[in-house]
Amino acid sequence: MPRVLVNIDVANLEAAIRFYTSALGLRLGRRFGPEAAELLGAEAPIYLLEQPAGSVPFAGAAMHREYRRHWTPVHLDFAVEDLEAAVQRAEAAGAKREGAVSEQAWGRIAYCSDPFGNGFCLLEFNERGYDAIATG
């Protein structure tokens, strides 16, 4: 079975370490030279990769990295026990909340972005969680 590894491109590694350790309570694991670091404390390790704005993600790529708020179909969700406390902690560390907390059949969600434009969500499940919407 494959292991999931999460990689997040950031413009400034040290600022990203400060944000993710402060906002989500993750802890610094290993450093991989001056441009990469491992964060631990989630179910999968998270690797922060310093990549300059304007660089390409792979040779011949048509798009360049930019660190303003952008949308991507792949993002991170962090399940938390106390949504209000998690939102306050994330905002204090530099996250931007995008809209009001939303009530769902499975619980509540806060849409956010990190200081590098990467979107993420904070989820607080109710007692049924995703079972409330499961169909099979």
CB atoms within 10 A of CB 103: 10
pLDDT tens track for 104-136: 999 999 999 999 999 999 999 999 999 999 997
Rounded to two decimals, what is the model's pTM? Answer: 0.86
> Which two tokens mark 1?
């079975």
44: helix, coil or strand?
A: coil
* b/e code 12-35 from CB counts within 10 Å (16+ = b): ebebbbebbeebbebeeeeeeeee
Domains detected in the chain = 6-132 (3.10.180.10)
| Pairing mode of beta strands 119-125, 76-79 | parallel
Question: What is the per-residue pLDDT across 68-114, written as a single tens digit (0 to 9) for each?
Answer: 888 777 789 999 999 999 999 999 999 999 999 999 999 999 999 99
